[in-house]
Structure 1
């Protein structure tokens, strides 16, 4: 009893030190608890991966080989450490030959994919930007009708993981660790699903990617499109979100600070004015399908696990597919999204683009409210949604400050220009959790 009284007096007489010690102790206890729970999560996944690794293969069969394209600069340069902690052990225990290739600069992932040979799958270890680069490089290499033969995996190691989070939702507590482990295990299980791709082309404008290598003055190549899996954003919320890193000194509150300090600035695009031409969604017809797929004998053909005969829709006539509606828009929040990021999208529904238009005018209070909602994973206010297969977006550049006008295509910045956005339904195959797969290929022992 005397010890308790003496201890209580000590705490009272040295309350500042006692408070600091208590906070330090609580922080340490929380770290130990998290480490214990992470070890438990990894143990479960590693034990499952080991069961795959113990399966014997025949003498004329080679182990699976995958190529991981890792962006070491992703998520404040923590992606490599996260990969080695939460992804690499699972892949190695499963008996998969893993070749890790690091990107060195913006656009390097596209070049790596175009030069890649002899691999069973491509795995993107990074965020939305790296994934978009890999998909762009892959489709440019193989063509829009052949790229569906190549399985792609994503390890959500970036700062923004829109597609990765949709494929591998991790939950609230230790969600990032669960997402990374589940994404790694999906590669081991070989559970896949087809995914839509958004093709974005500049209208009547030269593209920086079209200049040939060599001296200045060479002829311009055919325009090269950019391919995305999530969507394209434009407007005040996009501009504010792009400024987050400027408020790094606010720590975890920086994502809220960007809306507080930018909600009154003219540098944001408060008026996105454009002419939109769009066609209705189509399940596939002679207008959408350029030609019947032919047998492919290239190196990536061995990736195909299913031999199911695909339906030929090149003879189907859909008059509405070739009809375009026209609409003049003015909004503070423009987003054209694929169905990839919406959970629970019906597989039997026609593939479509979702053009979401926010309110035309936003005051400071609503800007804060909607911005905070988006940072907590909720959807911002939508005034109108247009469903389409193809969209021509022609911004009113005469009324805009073009120096401060930017699109975000899968979180990468692109200058605002007239663009044509085309949906390519189920062009690629991606690894996913078993609960989401449409065609699950399990090699479980």
Structure 2
């Protein structure tokens, strides 16, 4: 065996690297599934209890940007986020904002189709670009302004989300399964943080008279 390895050392190194990568990938996947299972159990417990008025949320509108994270946002939502919402026992309505092509379509969606007056919470799945696109419409609606908004950080650029969530060693926030699950449950355990949607900085452009 050692003679075979010595005579084919390049193939042996490649096989070793492939096996190591496969083992690490399998272990990471196992850990991720264990985390999902734990939070699904927590969500199931929440769903079996009577929610207090502070955490009562019957209908939740999910604004999903399916193009976020190179088109993987929908898959991440289905695998990690939706099971928690289902186990909590919510009336979840999912709206794909990336499929809206009509210039007035997004405004119609947020003012009419999602029936904002019947919502208990709003969930935004995407990154900074998704938030930037939705912010003007959120500011124009007095109903949406007063709704709790849950941010699910799935995207390439997540500066706003990083200001909300604790430090993680993951380069991409959506790779941290624990953080994704915590961001969902935070909407129903009373952890509400007020953050401005817009920040305006005035530069000093005054010049001395000549």
How would you bin the TM-score normalised by the shorter chain? 0.7 to 0.9
Deviation by residue 1:300-344 (Cα, 9 ceiling, x = unmatched): xxxxxxxxxxxxxxxxxxxxxxxxxx446xxxxxxxxxxxxxxxx
Deviation at 1:175, TM superposition (A): 4.9
Q: Tell me, which stretches of 5 or more residues in structure 1 are unaligned?
A: 1-6, 201-231, 233-274, 278-325, 329-445
TM-score by length of 2: 0.81
User: Do structure 1's residue 163 and structure 2's residue 180 form an aligned pair?
Assistant: no
Q: Number of aligned pairs?
A: 195
**1:276 and 2:203 matched:** yes
CA distance in 1, matches of 2:14, 2:107: 50
Q: Which residue, 51, 67, 70 being the options, matches 2:64? A: 70
Q: Highest CA radius of gyration, 1 or 2? A: 1
**Whole-Å separation in 2 of the counterparts to 1:90 and 1:53:** 10
Q: Offset at 1:147?
A: 5.5
Corresponding residue SS for 2:194: strand
CA distance in 1, matches of 2:57, 2:145: 23
Instruction: After superposition, give the CA deviation of every residue in 1:232-286 in whole Å (9 maximum; x if it has no partner).
Output: 9xxxxxxxxxxxxxxxxxxxxxxxxxxxxxxxxxxxxxxxxxx934xxxxxxxxx
1:50-107 Cα shifts (integer Å, max 9, x gaps): 11111157xxxx9611000001111100000011111111111111111101011477
Instruction: Write the distance in 1 (CA, Å) between the matches of 2:124 and 2:194.
Output: 16
Q: Compute the displacement of 1:133 (Å).
A: 2.4
Which structure carries more strand by proportion?
Answer: 1
TM-score by length of 1: 0.40
Q: Which residue of 1 aligns with 2:150?
A: 153
Report if aligned partners of 2:57, 2:120 keep a CA contact under 8 Å in 1. no
Alignment of 1:30-429 (within 5 A): 30-56=24-50, 64-103=58-97, 104-105=99-100, 109-115=106-112, 116-117=114-115, 118-142=118-142, 148-169=145-166, 171-173=168-170, 175-198=175-198, 276-277=203-204, 326-327=205-206
SS in 2 for 1:196: coil
How far did 1:16 drift? 1.7
Question: Which of the two has greater helix per residue?
Answer: 2
What is the root-mean-square deviation in Å for CA atoms of aligned residues?
Answer: 2.7
Instruction: Say whether the 8 Å CA contact 1:124–1:152 is kept in structure 2.
Output: yes
